């Protein structure tokens, strides 16, 4: 019998609770027992770099403008000046046309994705995601009435056009891509983006449009190149969803956007639908204060060097210890192979060494673990002995019975 309090579907979602949250809870218990400084927490993608000075300058300037109008409702799409500033930034960032008429300010990238998906999905429409994937996608898609379909990536975690083709059906309404990627840190190559766009163009029909949703929240966090190759400008039915959460280190401020490029054929209609949904899904509008801040620092960027040096330290050390991993080119995640097939068991071994990470199963790719390296450098330094000991313990435990004396 169903629970009389919580809706059946929500209860099912709660039982399938995200591993990221599970690790957060486990971490809370471990920290209460051992003290915060003795737990090495790599479980959350909560940026540790300070927001840039431009953000604080804008915050002060906006706070000093004490007109009552600044705090009222505005057009659900956002203040015109803020939308124009974001559009100008995006035109430079994507090296492609973008205007304020296509920019809708949202409560983070999560708000953006919920609005975008709700606008285009009919019940049981399918949305293809590329594994490993950000686990919240399933909730966003299902809340909008759709069904998530998974396509595997290549061994280097690039989007795999062949696997994607096999996942497309007449019910596919959208494909979500995320580069740089959470949880792998992979940056899609120009070639991978080009074959993705070519495939979508082949399948797209005016009677049944196929959208590419580019979750580009990490796009400015790239370490080995000056510019992250973009899929959105290569395909005419692209929807960009993103936020300032990661590159400005302000995820608690909930400021993000949907960008619909001018080439999108049914842009006006989609924009009206999404603007309405921003209101009716309960977001109403992005926070007014944050919109005003962004109008002043739309192209500011946090300290990428901080993450790059964390990546070099953590990934270099993991490789030297004997972990197998693809070097992440962006975002702030490393996704090495678990030394034993059971990644959940290995997470338990790491925990015995006071290290918190997330099992790959939480991202649709068992046999791996995710370390978020948006942490203080000392957290990585202090964890190194434990990471090495956990690897040895896992390997020793994995030896066939009788092999150990
Ligand atoms: C891949 C990805 N997409 C979307 C989000 C949601 O971002 P926001 O905090 O801006 O809503 C996150 C947050 O971690 C993420 O990693």
Kindly give the confidence (pLDDT) of every residue in the chain, 405 residues in length, as a single tens digit, with 9 standing for 90 and above: 567 888 888 887 777 667 777 888 888 899 999 998 899 999 988 898 899 999 999 999 999 997 888 899 999 999 999 999 999 999 999 999 999 999 999 999 999 999 999 999 999 999 999 999 999 999 999 999 999 999 999 999 999 999 999 999 999 999 999 999 999 999 999 999 999 999 999 999 989 999 999 999 999 999 999 999 999 999 999 999 999 999 999 999 999 999 999 999 999 999 999 999 999 999 999 999 999 999 999 999 988 999 999 999 999 999 999 999 999 999 999 999 999 999 999 999 999 999 999 999 999 999 999 999 999 999 999 999 999 999 999 999 875 544 443
Please check whether residues 119 and 47 belong to one and the same domain: no
* 256 φ/ψ angles, rounded to the nearest 5 degrees: -145, -170
310 and 268 together in one domain: no
Statement to judge: residues 178 and 293 lie in one domain? yes
Residues 39 and 61 in one domain: no
> Based on the domain organization, do 144 and 96 belong to the same domain?
yes
Do residue 17 and residue 72 come from a single domain?
Answer: no
CA 108 to ligand 1 centroid distance, Å: 7
| 270 in the same domain as 132 | yes
Which of 297, 330, 354 corresponds to the end of one domain?
297
Residue 221 lies in a domain: yes
- Residues 107, 234, single domain; the answer is yes
The residue behind tokens 């620092």 is 297
User: What is residue 150's three-state secondary structure?
Assistant: strand
**Ligand 1 atom with minimal separation from the 110 CA:** 11
The two counts, helices (H) then strands (E), for the chain are: 13, 12
Strands 333-334, 256-259: parallel, antiparallel or unpaired by DSSP?
A: unpaired
Domain of 22?
Answer: 8-51+303-396
Is 315 part of a structural domain of the chain? yes
* 8 A C-beta contact, residue 356 and residue 29: no
- H/E element, 176: strand 172-177
- For ligand 1, say whether the CB of 290 is within 6 Å of any of its atoms: no
Which residue, by CA, sits nearest to atom 16 of ligand 1? 182
The token duo for 1 is 């019998």
Q: How far is it, in rounded angstroms, from Cα 278 to Cα 108?
A: 12
Ligand 1 centroid to residue 399 C-alpha, Å: 39
Residues 216 and 315 in one domain: no
> Under a CB-based contact definition with an 8 Å cutoff, are residues 356 and 27 in contact?
yes
Among residues 297, 323, 348, the one where a domain terminates is 297
Quote the number of domains for the chain.
2
Does residue 405 form part of some domain? no
The closest-lying atom of ligand 1 relative to the alpha carbon of residue 107 is 11
Which of 256, 279, 297 delimits the end of a domain?
297
39, 81: one domain: no
User: Could you tell me the distance, in angstroms and rounded to a whole number, from the CA of residue 215 to the centre of ligand 1?
Assistant: 8
178 and 121 in a common domain:
yes
- Tell me: do 308 and 161 sit in the same domain: no
With respect to residue 403, please indicate whether it lies within any of the assigned structural domains. no
Ligand 1 centre from 245 Cα, in Å? 8
Which residue among 182, 188, 256 is best mutated to probe the pocket of ligand 1, counting the most ligand atoms within 8 A of its Cβ?
182
H or E stretch at 388: helix 377-398
| pLDDT value for 397 | 87
Is residue 294 within 8 A of residue 85, CB to CB? The reply is yes
pLDDT of res. 387: 98
């Amino acid at each position: 019998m169903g629970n009389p309090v919580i809706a059946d579907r929500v209860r099912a979602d709660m039982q399938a609770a995200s591993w990221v949250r599970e690790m957060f809870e486990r971490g809370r218990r471990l920290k209460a027992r051992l003290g915060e400084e003795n737990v090495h927490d790599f479980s959350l993608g909560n940026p540790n770099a300070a927001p840039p000075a431009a953000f604080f300058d804008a915050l002060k300037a906006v706070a000093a403008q004490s007109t009552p109008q600044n705090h009222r409702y505005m057009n659900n799409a956002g203040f015109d000046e803020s939308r124009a500033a974001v559009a100008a930034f995006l035109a430079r960032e994507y090296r492609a046309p973008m205007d304020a008429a296509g920019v809708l300010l949202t409560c983070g990238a999560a708000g953006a994705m919920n609005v975008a998906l709700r606008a285009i999905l009919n019940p049981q429409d399918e949305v293809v995601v590329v594994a490993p994937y950000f686990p919240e996608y399933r909730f966003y898609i299902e809340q909008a009435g759709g069904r998530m379909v998974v396509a595997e990536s290549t061994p280097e975690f690039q989007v795999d056009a062949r696997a994607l083709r096999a996942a497309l059906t007449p019910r596919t309404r959208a494909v979500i891509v995320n580069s740089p990627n959470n949880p792998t840190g992979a940056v899609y190559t120009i070639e991978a983006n080009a074959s993705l766009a070519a495939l979508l163009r082949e399948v797209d029909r005016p009677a049944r449009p196929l959208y590419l949703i580019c979750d580009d929240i990490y796009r400015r966090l790239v370490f080995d190149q000056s510019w992250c190759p973009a899929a959105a400008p290569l395909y005419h039915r692209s929807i960009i969803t993103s936020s300032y959460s990661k590159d400005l280190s302000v995820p608690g401020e909930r400021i993000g956007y949907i960008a619909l490029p001018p080439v999108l054929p049914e842009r006006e209609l989609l924009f009206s639908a999404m603007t309405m949904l921003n209101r009716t899904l309960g977001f109403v509008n992005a926070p007014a204060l944050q919109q005003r801040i962004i109008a002043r620092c739309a192209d500011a960027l946090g300290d990428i060097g901080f993450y790059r040096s964390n990546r070099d330290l953590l990934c270099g050390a993991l490789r030297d210890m004997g972990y197998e991993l693809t070097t992440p080119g962006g975002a702030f995640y490393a996704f090495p192979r678990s030394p034993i097939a059971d990644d959940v068991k290995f997470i338990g071994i790491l925990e015995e060494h006071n290290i918190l990470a997330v099992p790959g199963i939480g991202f649709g790719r068992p046999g791996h673990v995710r370390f978020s390296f948006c942490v203080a450098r000392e957290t990585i330094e202090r964890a190194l002995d434990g990471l090495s000991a956990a690897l040895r313990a896992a390997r020793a435990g994995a030896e066939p019975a009788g092999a150990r004396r």
